[in-house]
Structure 1
Amino acid sequence: MATIDVEEVRRLSDLHPKPALIRFQYGTAGFRTLGNTLDSVLFRVGIIAGLRSKKLDGKTIGVMVTASHNPEPDNGVKLVDPRGEMLESSWETHATTFSNAATTEDFLFVLDAFVKTAKIDLSKPARVVYARDTRPSGPALVSAFEDGLKAIGAEGRDAGVTTTPILHYLVRSINTKGTKDAYGEDSEQGYFAKLSEAFKKLVAGRATPPPLVIDCANGVGAPAAAKLSGLVKENLLLVLENTSTTTPGALNNSCGADYVKTAQKLPPSLASKLNAGQRGCSLDGDADRLMYFYIDEGGKFHMLDGDKIAALVAAFIVELVKTAGLEGQLNIGVVQTAYANGASTKYLAERLPVKCVPTGVKHLHHAAEHYDIGVYFEANGHGTVLFSPTSQDKLTTYEPSTPAQSTALTHLINLMQLINQTVGDALSDMLLVEVVLAHKSYSGVEWDSLYADLPNRLVKVVVADRTIFKTQDAERQLVSPPGLQKKIDEIVQRYDGGRSFVRPSGTEDVVRVYAESIFRPQADELAFRIAGLVYDETGGDPAQRPKEFM
C-alpha cells in the first residue's frame, strides 16, 4: 500500500509556512484575499488537488489561480471537478481545514487523518491541470502550488496564462476525451475552434453587425479576445480596448464588468470610443463575467446586464424549441438570485419557469441542472446555459418533419457547441448574445426595450464582522443579527415598489445592500438608508460609513 512521503511533505511545507493570525475560508469563489498572504494556501491546494484526483481514480482536477473582478493586489485559487464543475461542497470544508493548520506538524496530522477518513487509495494516479490570470502575484503562487503537487506525487499540466472558462473547458475535455461525451479538443486552440465554428454556422447568411467594442478589463480576457477576434472577423468585427495586461494597477481599475455593474456607467477609458447606438461590452479580470451596454442618441448610458442577457437568450431558446416541434418534450427554466431585477423576473416568469436561489455559481448551476435546458445568469453577468444529457440525446436523435423544424433543430445543436456549459464564460456568452441579436435583427436599443429595469442600487458596507449576518429564503431575509430584518422592512415600506435585502459577501470582507424602487432617487435613497441602518446596528469604523446619508 502506497504511503505519503512524510519527510518530503514536511520539507516542502516548511518552505510555505502559514501566516499567523489569518483564517482562510474556501468560499463561493474558492480562496480569495490579498495575494501576498496565500503562499501556504497554494501549497496545500496542490496537495488537496492531488488527493481529489486520487479519490476519483486519477481523473484530472482543475486549479485556477485568479481573483476575477477583485483589485490587482488580491488573488485566489479554486478547484474544479472532472466535468468542469465547481468542487464538491464537502471538499470545500476539507480545503478550509487544510489551509488553517497552524504549523507543518499540524498540517501533517490533518493530512494523515483526512487520507484515512476519506479512504483515499494513495497508489492511484493523480492528475491536475492548472492555470492563472495576469496578476503579478500569480507566478509565485503557482510555484507554491507546484510544490504541493510535488509533495503528493501528482502529475501537473500547466495551461499557462488563460481565462477561467478555458481552464474549466480543458478539465472537461481532458476527462471526456475518447468517450461518447467528448467535449472538445483539450487545448486552448480546441476551445477557440469549437466556439468560432459554431458561431459562424449560427450567423451564416445574416447581416454583419456594426463593430462590437470590448472592454477587456486589462486582464487575461485581452489575449483571449484577440485570438477569438482573428477567427470570427468575417462575421463580427471586435474592437478591443483596455488590453494593458502588464501595466501595474490597471487590472479591473475603473473598467471591467464589475465596474460597469456597480457604477452603472461607461468605463472612463471608453468615453470617446463608443458611438451613439454602438454595442459595447465589458469582461471581468478572468473573463467569466459579461456586461453589455450602449450610449443612446442623447448620450445616456444604458446597461444590459446578466438579467437582460438571460431574458434575451431564454426567450430565443424557447422560440427555437417551439419552432423545432419540441415544445412540451423539453422543459426549459431560468435560475436567478435575489439580485435579479424585479422587472426581469416578471418578464421571464410570463414565458417560462423561474427559480430563485442563493447567490453563488454553484447554487445556480445545480438548480439549472434540474431542467432539460437550464438558463442561469447572475445580474453581475456570470452565467451560461446547460443542456442535460436527456436534451442532448433528444436533439441529436429527433427527426424534424418540416424544413423550419430542421433549421431550428440545427440552430439548437450549434448552440450546444457555442455555449461553454462548464461555467459562465464571457467570450462564449458574448458570441451567444451576438447570435441572438443577429437572428432577431436587434440593436442594443431593441434588446433593451424587452422590459424596463426597475431603478436599483448596490452598496457595500464595511462592518466589524460580516460572519454575524445569516440569511434565509434564497438570501432575501436576514435571520441574524436579530431584529434587523424587521427594521429593514419598516424602511422598505416607505418607498413605492420598494425591495431591499442584505447579505454578507462571499468574496470580500463586506456586507452588500441591494435596493430597488419605481423611481431612481428613491432606489438610491433606500439603498443608502438601509446601508446606514446596517452600519449603525452592527458597528464599524466611522470613516467607512456609507457617505450619502451621514
Structure 2
Amino acid sequence: MDGRPSWNMFAVQLTRLIIGSVISYFTAKLIVRQFDQTTAKKEQTKKKAERICNLLGIQVQDLDEYEMRIATQLVNPKDCSISWSDVGGYSNLISELRENIIFPLRTSIKSKHFSAPKDSFLRRRQSRDHEMTAMMKALFLSHWDGFFSESELRVVIIGATNRPKDVDSAILRRMPLRFCIRHPLSQDVNLLEIANHCCGFSCSDLVELCRVAGVIRVRESIKQEQEIKQENEQVEIRPFERSDFLKAIERMNKDNEDMLLNRLDEIELIANTLKCVMYRMGLLACLRSQQTGMVVGVMITASHNPAKDNGVKIIDPMGDIDDQLISTLEMIVSKNNICISAEASVFCAHDNRESSTVLYNVLKSGVDVMNGKFILFGMLTTPQLHFIVRHGNCLKNYDPVFLENFYYEEVTKAFKNVNTSMQQSRKAYNPTVFIDCGNGVGGKAMRFFVENLKPLLNIILVNQSNHHINDKCGADFVKIEQQIPTVYDANLRITPGQRWASFDGDADRIIYFYLDSKRMFHLLDGDKIAVLMVSFVLDLMQKGDLRTSIGVVQTAFANGSSTRYIEDVLKIPVVITDTGVKHLHKEAKKFDIGIYFEANGHGTVLFSENIMDELHKHLQPLSAECAEARRTLSNLVHLINQANGDAMTNLLLAETILQHRDWNIEKWDELFVDYPCRQLKIKVSNRFAVKTADCDRICLAPSGLWERITELGKKYSYSRAFIRPSGTEDVVRVYAEAGTQEDADDLAALIGKAVQEFVG
C-alpha cells in the first residue's frame, strides 16, 4: 500500500454523498410540505383542474400555480343552459361580443408572420458597422437558405419593413417575392381630414382608432355573410372607408366623455359619475398623509361651475395644491416608500351642492379602507379648508370646532386691529358693501363677519340660497359677461352708488363692480384688486423703512394696462406665468412679499419668513409713522389667507385699504384705465386639441389657428389676443384687447368663430 486512497474508497464516498444529498433534499421537502398550510389546498386545486380539463378533452401537462387556478374556473359549454336568445335588452353588447371575441376565435389562421425589425438589424452594411454586428449579419445570411416552414402553413412571411431602401441588398435577393402593400383605404379617405379630427389623440389612441375602424368594417362583412349564407357566396372584405374612421372617432369621443378627466390640482365631473373618483381620492389622501406625517385636506366642490357639477380638490399639509397625483396606488407606495401602516388624517369639507353629502360618504369609505382618521368639517369654503389644514398642522390641533373658530377669530381680530382707528376719519368711504354670493357656500360663511364686524363694515348678503348656484350670478358670470348679476331677492335692486362684490360658488374668487350715475356698468376684476393691494403694501413698506423684495405675478390674461401700471408707475417687477393658481403661487413665493392675482379674481398676498423677521426688528428707534406702518403690515399678515386665494379675506383687505385711503369705489377705479377687452367661453368638442406655449401667449395646435388669430388681430389697433383651453370644462377661453370696446368685442367674436372652425 502506498497510502493513497483507492478508487473503490472514492466511489464509496461519492455514493454516500449522493445518497445523503437525495435523502436530505426529500426530507427537507417533506418538512416544508408539513409546515406549508396551503399544500393540501394546492393538491385539491390540481386534481380539480385535471378533472375539468379531462372532461373538456384538453391535454395538460405540469400546470403552474396560476394556470391551475384558471383551469378550475373553466366551464363545460354543455353545462350552460343559457343561450344568447335568453338575454334581453343587450343586443348591441351581444353583437360586439360575437364580433370581437367569438368570430376571431372561430377563424382559422391562414398565415404566419415573422415580423422582425429587418430594417434596423439588417439595414445596408456600412464600413462604420461594429465588428459584432457584421458577424451577426453574416451568420444570419448563412442560415437564411435553410429557413424552415411548417407544412400546414400556406404562406410564410419572411420579413416586413416600412423602409425597404434601407434593407441590405443581400437580404432583398433572398426574398423570392416582394410586394408593396399600400394602405387598405378607399379613394374617399383623406388622411389629413382624419388627422384634423384626432387633435389631442395619443399614439395609443390612434392605434385604437384604427382597431375600432377595422371592427366596424369586419362587422359589416359579417352581416353581409349572414345575409348571403344561403347562396353560398363568399364575401369580400372591402377597404377602409371614410365613414369607418368617422364612426370610430365619434365612438371614441363619446367614450372619452365618460372617462375621468383633469387629475393636476381640480376635477370637475357630473356628480353621478364622480363616486369612483371620490373613493380613490380618499385612498390617495391617506397615502399623502402617511407620506408627510401631517394632515391632508379634501374639498368637495365644483367652484364656479353650475350646480349639477361637482368635483374634488386635494389640499397639501401647508394649504398648497398637490400637483403630483400618480395614476395607481401601488406606484405611489413603492415610489415614495410610504409606510401604509402609519397613521393618516384627512380633513374633509364640502360646499352646498346637493350631491356633496353622497360624495363625502364615498370619500369616507376610501379613507376607512386605509384605516385613516376622517374628520368632517361640514360646509366650508375652499379657502377656509386650506387655512384649516395649514394651521391644523402647525398647531397640531385637529379639533374641527377650534380650527373653524380660529379662522374667524384670527381674521376678525386682525381686521379690527387695523381699522378701529380709521372709523372717525373717513369721509368718502361708505362702510356698506353688497355681496353677490353666487348662491354658493360663501353666503353661509360670511354670516359670522356680518354680525361681528359692525359698525366697521356693514355687509349685506345677496344670492345666498342653495339654488341657482353660479346661475347668472357669481364672480365668473359677472367677469365673463361684464354685466350685473341676477338678484334673486325680489326686494333688492342694484342701484348707482352702491359698492358690490361677487364671489364664486366656493368663495375663492372675488371681483368688484358698480353702476355709475348713468347706470353704466364698471368692473373691477382681479387686476384692479392686485393693483390696489400692491400699491398699499408698497406704501407701507416705504413708510416702514423695509428694504425687502416685492413682486407681482400675473397671467397673460391680465389686462395689459394693469401690467404697465405696476411696472411703469409703481416700479415693481411683474412675472408672467402659465394659467393656474399653483403656477402663480409658486412664483409669488420667490419674493419677500409676493402678490398674485388672476383676472378672474383668484389670488392672495404671501409673506416670507424674512419679511416677518424684518417687521419685528428694532435696530434703531422707529418714528411714529414707521412703527404704525409696520404694525399695519403685521396685522395684514394675519388678515390675509396665505394658504390660498380667499374671497372673504380679500374682501376684508380691499375694504381695509379703501378705509385707510378714504376712497370710494369710483376713486379706486381711477387708479388706471383698463384697455377695452372682452373674454369669451367657446364650447368645443375636445378642449385637449388646443395646445399653447409661452404662458398661453402662443397657440401651437390646431395647426393654422394661431396664424388666423394673428391675422385677425392686425385688423384692429392696439390689439392683442390669446386663447387657452379650460382646465375644468370643455370650453376654450378667448381674451381680446383693442383700442375700443366695440373692436375688442368684434375681435373676440371673430376669434371665437375661428376656434369653432378649427376645433369643432
Q: TM-score, normalised by structure 2?
A: 0.63
Secondary structure of the residue that 2:413 maps to in structure 1?
Answer: helix
Who is 1:86 aligned against? 321
**Contact 2:304–2:504 (CA<8 Å) still a contact in 1?**
yes
Counterparts of 2:309 and 2:396, CA distance in 1? 38
Cα shift readout 1:30-66 (whole Å, capped 9, x = no counterpart) = 111111110000001000000001111x200000000
Secondary structure of the residue that 1:294 maps to in structure 2?
Answer: strand
Task: State the Cα distance separating 1:353 from its structure 2 match.
Answer: 0.7
1:198 has 2:414 as partner: yes
Secondary structure of the residue that 1:90 maps to in structure 2?
Answer: coil
Q: Which amino acid aligns with 1:193?
A: E
**Contact 1:386–1:421 (CA<8 Å) still a contact in 2?**
yes
1:446 has 2:446 as partner: no
Counterparts of 1:469 and 1:173, CA distance in 2? 39
Q: Work out which of the residue numbers 577, 582, 592 in structure 2 matches 1:357.
A: 577
Who is 2:303 aligned against? 68
Task: State the Cα distance separating 1:224 from its structure 2 match.
Answer: 0.8
Secondary structure of the residue that 1:187 maps to in structure 2?
Answer: helix
Structure 1 residues not aligned, in runs of 5+: 1-18, 98-109, 540-550
Counterparts of 2:413 and 2:494, CA distance in 1? 28
1:23 has 2:262 as partner: no
**Contact 1:501–1:514 (CA<8 Å) still a contact in 2?**
yes
Q: Which has the higher contact order (CA 8 A, sep 6+)?
A: 1
**Contact 1:28–1:361 (CA<8 Å) still a contact in 2?**
no
Counterparts of 1:268 and 1:115, CA distance in 2? 49
Q: Work out which of the residue numbers 447, 458, 477 in structure 1 matches 2:698.
A: 477
Q: Work out which of the residue numbers 242, 251, 261 in structure 1 matches 2:469.
A: 251
**Contact 1:174–1:186 (CA<8 Å) still a contact in 2?**
no
**Contact 2:266–2:312 (CA<8 Å) still a contact in 1?**
yes
Task: State the Cα distance separating 1:303 from its structure 2 match.
Answer: 0.9
Cα shift readout 1:124-151 (whole Å, capped 9, x = no counterpart) = 1111101000000000000100000011
Who is 1:291 aligned against? 511
Who is 1:547 aligned against? none
Cα shift readout 1:319-361 (whole Å, capped 9, x = no counterpart) = 00000011xx211110001110111111111211111111100
1:43 has 2:279 as partner: yes
Secondary structure of the residue that 2:718 maps to in structure 1?
Answer: coil
**Contact 1:213–1:274 (CA<8 Å) still a contact in 2?**
no
Who is 1:229 aligned against? 450
Q: Which amino acid aligns with 1:41?
A: V
Q: TM-score, normalised by structure 1?
A: 0.87
Counterparts of 2:264 and 2:682, CA distance in 1? 19
Counterparts of 2:431 and 2:305, CA distance in 1? 31
Counterparts of 1:113 and 1:491, CA distance in 2? 47
Who is 1:377 aligned against? 597
1:189 has 2:405 as partner: yes
Secondary structure of the residue that 2:421 maps to in structure 1?
Answer: coil
Counterparts of 1:269 and 1:45, CA distance in 2? 36
Q: Which amino acid aligns with 1:382?
A: H
Secondary structure of the residue that 2:349 maps to in structure 1?
Answer: strand
Task: Tell me which structure has the larger Cα radius of gyration.
Answer: 2
**Contact 1:64–1:164 (CA<8 Å) still a contact in 2?**
yes
Describe the shift of the 1:126–1:335 C-alpha distance in structure 2 as closer, same or farther (beyond 3 A): same
Q: Which amino acid aligns with 1:60?
A: V
Counterparts of 2:754 and 2:255, CA distance in 1? 34
Counterparts of 1:28 and 1:381, CA distance in 2? 20
Structure 2 residues not aligned, in runs of 5+: 1-253
Counterparts of 1:495 and 1:386, CA distance in 2? 38
Who is 2:559 aligned against? 341
**Contact 2:475–2:510 (CA<8 Å) still a contact in 1?**
yes
Secondary structure of the residue that 2:439 maps to in structure 1?
Answer: coil
1:300 has 2:534 as partner: no
Q: Work out which of the residue numbers 658, 676, 681 in structure 2 matches 1:437.
A: 658
Q: Which amino acid aligns with 2:313?
A: K
**Contact 1:67–1:76 (CA<8 Å) still a contact in 2?**
yes
**Contact 2:435–2:461 (CA<8 Å) still a contact in 1?**
yes
Who is 2:381 aligned against? 163
Counterparts of 1:20 and 1:501, CA distance in 2? 30
**Worse-matched range after superposition: 135-144 or 480-489:** 480-489
1:325 has 2:545 as partner: yes
Q: Which amino acid aligns with 1:391?
A: I
Secondary structure of the residue that 1:268 maps to in structure 2?
Answer: coil
**Contact 1:165–1:425 (CA<8 Å) still a contact in 2?**
yes
Who is 1:419 aligned against? 640
Task: State the Cα distance separating 1:482 from its structure 2 match.
Answer: 2.2
Identity %: 41
Who is 1:394 aligned against? 614
Who is 1:136 aligned against? 354
Counterparts of 2:422 and 2:495, CA distance in 1? 23
Task: State the Cα distance separating 1:113 from its structure 2 match.
Answer: 4.1
Cα shift readout 1:384-409 (whole Å, capped 9, x = no counterpart) = 00001111121123455200000000
**Contact 2:431–2:456 (CA<8 Å) still a contact in 1?**
no
**Contact 2:264–2:324 (CA<8 Å) still a contact in 1?**
no
Cα shift readout 1:419-460 (whole Å, capped 9, x = no counterpart) = 000000000000000010011111000000001111111112
Counterparts of 2:609 and 2:624, CA distance in 1? 25
Describe the shift of the 1:25–1:380 C-alpha distance in structure 2 as closer, same or farther (beyond 3 A): same
Counterparts of 2:459 and 2:574, CA distance in 1? 33
Q: Which amino acid aligns with 1:336?
A: Q
Counterparts of 1:531 and 1:274, CA distance in 2? 31
**Contact 1:173–1:185 (CA<8 Å) still a contact in 2?**
no
Q: Work out which of the residue numbers 170, 173, 177 in structure 1 matches 2:391.
A: 173
Who is 1:218 aligned against? 439
Equivalence map 1:495-506=2 (5 Å): 495-506=716-727
**Worse-matched range after superposition: 421-430 or 113-122:** 113-122
Secondary structure of the residue that 2:347 maps to in structure 1?
Answer: strand
Q: Which amino acid aligns with 1:81?
A: D
Secondary structure of the residue that 2:724 maps to in structure 1?
Answer: strand
Q: Which amino acid aligns with 1:458?
A: Q
Q: Work out which of the residue numbers 515, 527, 531 in structure 2 matches 1:311.
A: 531
The alignment yields a C-alpha RMSD, in angstroms, of 1.9
Counterparts of 1:411 and 1:499, CA distance in 2? 39
Who is 1:104 aligned against? none
Counterparts of 1:393 and 1:82, CA distance in 2? 23
Task: State the Cα distance separating 1:418 from its structure 2 match.
Answer: 0.3
Counterparts of 1:389 and 1:59, CA distance in 2? 21
Counterparts of 1:192 and 1:77, CA distance in 2? 24
**Contact 1:170–1:186 (CA<8 Å) still a contact in 2?**
no
